[in-house]
Amino acid sequence: MKTLIKKTYEDLSKEAAKIIKEAIQEKPNLVLGLATGSTPIGTYKELIRMHREENLDFSQVISFNLDEYLGLSADHHQSYNYFMYKNLFDYININHKNIHIPDGMTENVEEFLKEYEKKIREAGGIDLQLLGIGSDGHIGFNEPGTPLNSRTQIVKLTESTIKDNSRFFEKEEDVPRFAITMGVQTIFEAKKTLLLASSGNKAEAIVKFIEGPITSQITASILQKHPDTIVILDEVAASRLKRRY
Ligand code: PGA
């Protein structure tokens, strides 16, 4: 695992976008795993700029999103589907047929979960998976206690995640209690992973994930074993690390 510490969120976002750009240039039909939340927004802004100013071409890229709230339709303004279009897809030339986001309104959940895994396999597996981390150490929505060998599944959100995400909703009660997420093992199988974290409320999760034991209580900790993981932190998120890498 390689850890890069950047001065600011802007520097972190630029570095992440540069890594994604290079991967697309190397493999134009890159299978790109994407994430939502506040953290990747700066990276998406920079990718949009690269598309506009540097002709970064997304036309053959195939995307798979990590997760979606169960019960929110694609056009709900807090759905991750809506987020992805408003923060990235509406501004780049990705072929909409190549976009995959879990369907929060699926009627046949079990079938959907299997299909999602199958589509990832058929695309040849994820080449590069972008990740955030929850203040409870989750990746995707894989909350503490989720088995490390889990595949795409339904999960119940923890109180801390509901609290963290309530800032996007009118009231805490409006935050959905369940979500569909790629499993820990599904994420681990990506050929390369790129985890971003900025701001102080992540500092504790960062120390546990990088310096603590590998445990299902901090699902991000599985990445310690991943052969090609880059972690990009800003100074504040890195502030509790005992060792600078
Ligand atoms: P955030 O969420 O980027 O909004 O902090 C990260 C996550 O929960 O994975």
Q: Cite the active site residues.
A: 67, 136, 138, 143
* CA of 39, closest atom in ligand 1: 3
Helix residue spans in the chain (DSSP H): 9-26, 41-54, 80-87, 109-122, 159-165, 184-188, 203-211
The residue whose C-alpha atom lies closest to atom 4 belonging to ligand 1 is 37
Q: Of the residues 9, 34, 39, which should be mutated to test ligand 1's pocket, given the most ligand atoms within 8 Å of the CB?
A: 39
User: Separation of 188 CA from ligand 1 center, angstroms?
Assistant: 18
**Tokens describing residue 25:** 């240039």
User: Separation of 202 CA from ligand 1 center, angstroms?
Assistant: 9
Q: Which value, in Å, is the radius of gyration of the alpha carbons in the chain? A: 17
* Pocket lining: 37 vs ligand 1, CB cutoff 6 Å: yes
Q: Of the residues 133, 182, 199, which should be mutated to test ligand 1's pocket, given the most ligand atoms within 8 Å of the CB?
A: 133
According to the model, what pLDDT value does residue 243 have?
82
User: Separation of 214 CA from ligand 1 center, angstroms?
Assistant: 20
According to the model, what pLDDT value does residue 245 have?
60
Write out residues in the chain with pLDDT < 70, as ranges: 245
Backbone torsions φ then ψ of 40, nearest 5 degrees: -80, 0
Domains and CATH numbers, the chain: 2-182+193-232 (3.40.50.1360)
Angle 169-99-73 (CA atoms, 0-180°, nearest 5)?
35
pTM beyond 0.95: yes
Residues making up the chain, counted from first to last: 245
According to the model, what pLDDT value does residue 136 have?
95
Q: Of the residues 12, 38, 41, 141, which should be mutated to test ligand 1's pocket, given the most ligand atoms within 8 Å of the CB?
A: 38
* Pocket lining: 133 vs ligand 1, CB cutoff 6 Å: yes
* Pocket lining: 132 vs ligand 1, CB cutoff 6 Å: yes
